[in-house]
Amino acid sequence: MLSQIGSLVIMAYRHSGGISGGTFKKILNLAKKYRQKGAKMPLNDTFIKNSTKHSGKPTGDKHTDGAGMYLLVTASGKYWRMNYRFADKRKTLALGTYPEVSLAKARAKREKARELLAEGIDPSAAKRIEKAANLATSANTFKAIALEWHGTKVSGWSTTHAETTMERMEKNIFPWLGTRPLTEIEAPEILMTLRRIESRGAIDTTHRVKSIVSTVFRYAIATGRAVRNPAADVGVALKTTVKGHHPAIVEPKRFAQMLRDIYAYSGSTITRAALQIHALTFQRPNEIRDAQWSEIDLVAGTWIIPPARMKNILERKANGEAHTVPLCKQAIAVLEDLRPLTGHGKKVFPSERGEGRSISENTARQALRSMGYTDHVPHGFRASARTLLREALHWDKDVIERQLSHGSDEELGGAYDRTQFLKERTKMMQNWADYLDKIRVGAEVIPIRSAR
């Protein structure tokens, strides 16, 4: 039969210089019959693609390639297999599925298995060992260990700190180090990753991320996945963080101009409202960006921030008192104007990305920068208010400190914190808002009495 196939090929080329469709079909049929009779003929891609159909046999159809390798065709697919003997036992090695594993790749795997057999190694055992090593490597990537570390710590962290740490890893570490086996990461690679952050001018963030990387390595050492911490000495090659207060404008004329720019801000309505609330309430940035409508009572004119969302030790976050923020008429107006846009959801200042997120910690900061204010950050509104309330409006220091949700300097003063000056703070907040209106428009402002 093999001579018949050869004769057809020679005749086709002799008469037409090629193989016609009919002749080609005859050749395939003859080859198929040749195989069905048990003849050993190597496989080829054309035969595999066009003639290896499942016949319906429960055990499938075998098409031999040689040296123990064959293609097993079943109702569910085509599988490369190799029969061999090891230690006087007949075994079968899986070489992959077709077409994911081509004929050429299957043959390469067969030759590798034959080399192992020649060295007295069982290919199936070698495959199991390689698979286990690959699994161990994937389980010991930087990302896998970092997520494990984060999971062990998250129950003792505030929600904000947990989210911030995860965000820093996802944005600044995982894209470059995440898939790398942790034990293969060296100091120069860590430095290169940190330099990407440093080049943005985010020096403080660079050092915070470096601390995260170092902590992950220390966790890996403690759990037996590493023996040293290559991030320990990277800090000497980084720019030094300049410690100091949050940049803030405290000069009335410049602060007034910034207010005018905020009220005229043509970007996102949500971002503009967030900046206005920063100026009017001077609460912490995370407390403002994560504000929820359920915390705000526009009729009573109060915003009650639960202890879990405030800056504090974990015990006070769980068992401490809420912080009441009196809302002035101007703040209520800003929120009432915003409510038709975001009031259907949970968050007062939701992210455009959705998924129940708040605006990011950098949203308000970037908006200020876009208006040219590089010397003032969202947290700076607290310093601005503290300075101007004291120097321009002459309010009592203790009342201001309670409004900032700072603890009392006096012994046992915390027992009277937040509620002791609520009446005074309510007056102060309206006085503050009226003062902002005054300097913003550049004239005395007569407050309009509420119609309520």
Q: Look at residue 450 and tell me whether its pLDDT is greater than 80.
A: no
d(CA 39, CA 45) in angstroms, rounded, equals: 18
d(CA 296, CA 303) in angstroms, rounded, equals: 4
Q: What share of the chain is helix, strand, coil (3-state, %, to 5)?
A: 55, 10, 35
Rounded to 10 deg, the angle between the 269-281 and 329-342 helix axes is 150
* pLDDT score for 420: 65
DSSP 8-state secondary structure symbol assigned to residue 77? E
d(CA 136, CA 262) in angstroms, rounded, equals: 54
Structure tokens at 202: 């985010």
Q: Distance of CA 380 to CAs 200, 245, 413, Å?
A: 21, 9, 26
* pLDDT score for 338: 97
Average pLDDT over residues 117-139: 77
More confident residue, 31 or 219: 219
- 77-86 and 89-98 as β-strands: parallel, antiparallel, unpaired? antiparallel
Please provide residue 241's backbone torsions phi and psi, each rounded to the nearest 5 degrees: -75, 130
d(CA 383, CA 276) in angstroms, rounded, equals: 16
Q: What are the tens digits of pLDDT across the range 24-59?
A: 566 556 555 555 554 456 888 888 888 778 888 988
Query: How would you class 299 by CB atoms within 10 Å of its CB: exposed for 0-12, middle for 13-18, buried for 19 or more?
Result: exposed
d(CA 146, CA 358) in angstroms, rounded, equals: 25
Q: Residues 306-311: contacts with CB within 8 Å, 24+ apart?
A: 308/158, 308/159, 309/159, 309/160, 310/284, 310/405, 311/284, 311/286, 311/287, 311/405
Q: Look at residue 281 and tell me whether its pLDDT is greater than 60.
A: yes
Of 324, 322, 327, 294, the closest CA to residue 308 belongs to 322
* pLDDT score for 319: 65
Residue type, 426: T
Of 13, 25, 82, the closest CA to residue 50 belongs to 25
Residue 256 binned pLDDT confidence (cut-offs 50, 70, 90)? very high
* pLDDT score for 243: 54
CB 79 within 8 A of CB 98: yes
Q: What are the tens digits of pLDDT across the range 422-433?
A: 999 999 999 999
d(CA 328, CA 426) in angstroms, rounded, equals: 8
- DSSP-H helix ranges across 154-298: 159-172, 174-177, 187-198, 203-222, 252-263, 269-281, 285-289
Residue 92 binned pLDDT confidence (cut-offs 50, 70, 90)? very high
Of 254, 275, 262, the closest CA to residue 363 belongs to 275
CB 278 within 8 A of CB 383: no
Alpha carbon 297 to its chain's center: 34
Q: What global pTM score does this model have?
A: 0.52
Q: What are the tens digits of pLDDT across the range 332-382?
A: 999 999 999 999 999 999 998 776 789 987 899 999 999 999 899 999 999
d(CA 71, CA 231) in angstroms, rounded, equals: 50
Of 48, 36, 43, the closest CA to residue 1 belongs to 36
Give the largest CA-CA distance in the chain.
110
d(CA 348, CA 209) in angstroms, rounded, equals: 30
* pLDDT score for 14: 45
